[in-house]
Amino acid sequence: MGRPIILDTDPGIDDAVAFVVLQHYCPSDVRLIVAGYGNITKEHTVRNALTMCSLLKWDVPVLPGASGPQKGSYETAAHIHGTDGLGGLSLSEQEKKPIETDDWLLYLYETICSEGTVDYITLGPLTNLAMLFMRFPDSKKHIGRIVTMGGGIGKGNVRPYAEFNMFCDPESAAFVLREADHLALIPLNTTETVAFSLMQIDRIGQCDTVLAHALYTILKANYAACTAYGELGSTMHDSTAVLYYLFPELFSVRKCGIHVNCEKEPGNTELTDRRHNIILAEQTDPALLLEKIMACVMKEYTPHG
């Protein structure tokens, strides 16, 4: 048993595969999933998180998070993840229900405090974490490692200068990357190299399990969408961040500060010499990471008691 984990996510097809990886390596460490807006609306990300937990027979509570950025509006990534955010896999009716509360942020804070110290993995916009730090500043002392998928040094995806998670809510991203005592950032420069080829997706399709069949369907759809936008294949941004959390030794890193532009080029993440509180992932071994993801997807799932 490792340290308790809070998973902050906007499923999303690549988030969904990251669920598979986390459930494979540390099923009982993940104590809470916070599903907020991002790739698709919060209503859909909550439903998609519940769908993936049901598919994985993974009994983790799902807490609906923020519905939008702290300022302004946002654009979904439905063109990459489908109108339901899960390539058509989303279950509208299901047994598992989300946590019902009229104060999700207080629920998140109290959960973190009750665990003593948690690690916090973000796979979507940084709105939830920024709101937690702003309303409950002492929450920082209950958070050990923060691992964040987001940003891009000199590159973007949703804009030439901005990566999607940072672009959704640049003010929240700027706040978190400035105020966090230490945070590992896994940027586009690293994650975009970790992409499933059609041959690898077909290997998954030949695996006769319910999970592999489901993922084959959504990865095929995601491959077409990603490559239409110039990516190498079905890009596993979020699994790369989760694998950094699990195997940091597989990455080269540098310490730095990151400034998030909120004016002319909102979401642009730039290196800065102000307080070196960021561990920036740089190089990894894409083939090794893809094999690890593949092994998680293709392993025979048995119900976890």
Contact, 77 vs 125, CB < 8 A? no
Beta bridge partners of 186: 149
63 binds ligand RIB (CB under 6 A): no
- Of the residues 81, 182, 237, 276, only one is catalytic, namely 237
Among 10, 47, 56, 185, contact with ligand RIB (rule: CB under 6 A): 10
Q: For the chain, where are the alpha helices, taking DSSP H only?
A: 13-25, 42-55, 78-81, 104-115, 127-135, 164-168, 170-179, 188-191, 198-205, 210-228, 237-246, 286-298
Structure tokens at 234: 């079905």
Does 152 bind Ca ion (CB under 5 A)? Our answer is: no
Question: How many residues at the interface with Ca ion, by CB under 5 A?
Answer: 6
Out of 7, 30, 37, 38, the residue judged to bind ligand RIB by CB under 6 A: 38
* 142 flagged as catalytic: no
Nearer to Ca ion, 192 or 238 (CB): 238
Distance CA 279, CA 281 (A): 6
Q: Which two tokens stand for residue 48?
A: 């998609």
- Residue 192 binds ligand RIB, judged by CB under 6 A: no
Stretch that binds ligand RIB, among 8-16, 66-74, 200-208, 222-230 (CB under 6 A): 8-16
169 binds ligand RIB (CB under 6 A): no
Instruction: Give bridge partners of residue 217 from the DSSP assignment.
Output: none
> Cα-atom radius of gyration of the chain, to the nearest Å?
18
**Does the protein bind ligand RIB through residue 51 (CB under 6 A)?**
no
Site string for Ca ion, 67-106 (x = CB under 5 A): ----------------------------------------
Contact 129, 139 (CB under 8 A): no
H helices present in 56-195, as ranges: 78-81, 104-115, 127-135, 164-168, 170-179, 188-191
Decide if residue 15 touches ligand RIB (CB under 6 A): yes
> Among residues 273, 237, 243, 240, which one has the least CA distance to residue 255?
273
> Which positions from 112 to 141 touch ligand RIB by CB under 6 A, shown as an x/- string?
-----------xx-----------------
Whichever of 230 and 303 has its CB closer to ligand RIB, that residue is 230
Q: Cβ of residue 168: shortest distance to ligand RIB, in angstroms?
A: 8
User: Which of ligand RIB, Ca ion, none interacts with 164 (beta carbon under 5 to 8 A by kind)?
Assistant: ligand RIB
Residues touching ligand RIB, count (CB under 6 A): 16
Calculated CA dihedral for residues 67, 70, 71, 74, nearest 10 degrees: -40
What is the rounded CA–CA span in Å between residue 35 and residue 98? 10
Residue whose CB is less far from Ca ion, 123 or 297: 123
Q: Supply angle C-alpha 14, 16, 18, rounded to 5.
A: 75
Identify the residue whose tokens are 């990251």. 18
C-alpha 135/C-alpha 86 separation (Å) is 32
Task: Tell me which residues touch Ca ion (CB under 5 A).
Answer: 10, 12, 15, 123-124, 238
Residues that bind ligand RIB in the complex, under the rule CB under 6 A: 10, 12, 14-15, 38-39, 77, 123-124, 149, 157, 163-165, 237-238
Catalytic residue IDs: 237
